[in-house]
Amino acid sequence: MSNKSLKTPLGRVRGLGAAKSGTQHFWLQRLTGVALVPLTVIFVFTVIYLARASQTTVIATLSSPLIAIFLYLFIIAGVIHMRAGMQVIIEDYVEKEELKIAAVMANTFFAIFIGAACLYALLKLNFGI
């Protein structure tokens, strides 16, 4: 019987592909994508509602626990999804290994910075931190 598998013997034993984490990355993107569908709808309706509202109304609405929780989830899922998607693009299209590593690191730091800034703004509104 001829073994025509492209996996290494160790890979066959462990059941892992070449990247070692492709399935986890795949599911992370899919789960955050699915979570973002209702969260984006809620976010868009909130923005439309607040588009012509006064500053007092905006602060009161964004300070509401229910709206704040949805916005926290939207930010977290969005940042994770953004980082994972950009990482795939970087890994697929950047050829130089040094540049690829630097780009993945920059992508991670950017995602952390954006998420922290958004969460800080909401926490400041909600708790006056």
CA angle 64, 115, 56 (to 5 degrees): 30
7 — alpha (psi -120 to 50), left (phi > 0) or beta? beta
Give dist(CA 51, CA 53) in Å, integer. 6
When the pLDDT of each residue in the chain is averaged and rounded to a whole number, the result is 89
Return the closest-CA partner of residue 24 out of 75, 76, 88: 88
Mean pLDDT of 17-30: 77
List, for residues 40-92, the tens digit of each pLDDT value: 999 999 999 999 999 999 999 999 999 999 999 999 999 999 999 999 999 99
Domain ranges of the chain: 23-127
What fold, for 23-127?
A: 3 helical TM bundles of succinate and fumarate reductases (1.20.1300)
Which pLDDT band, with edges at 50, 70 and 90, does 129 fall under? low
Report the greatest alpha carbon distance in the chain: 75
* Three-class HEC string of 15-61: CCCCCCCHHHHHHHHHHHHHHHHHHHHHHHHHHHHHCCCCHHHHHHH
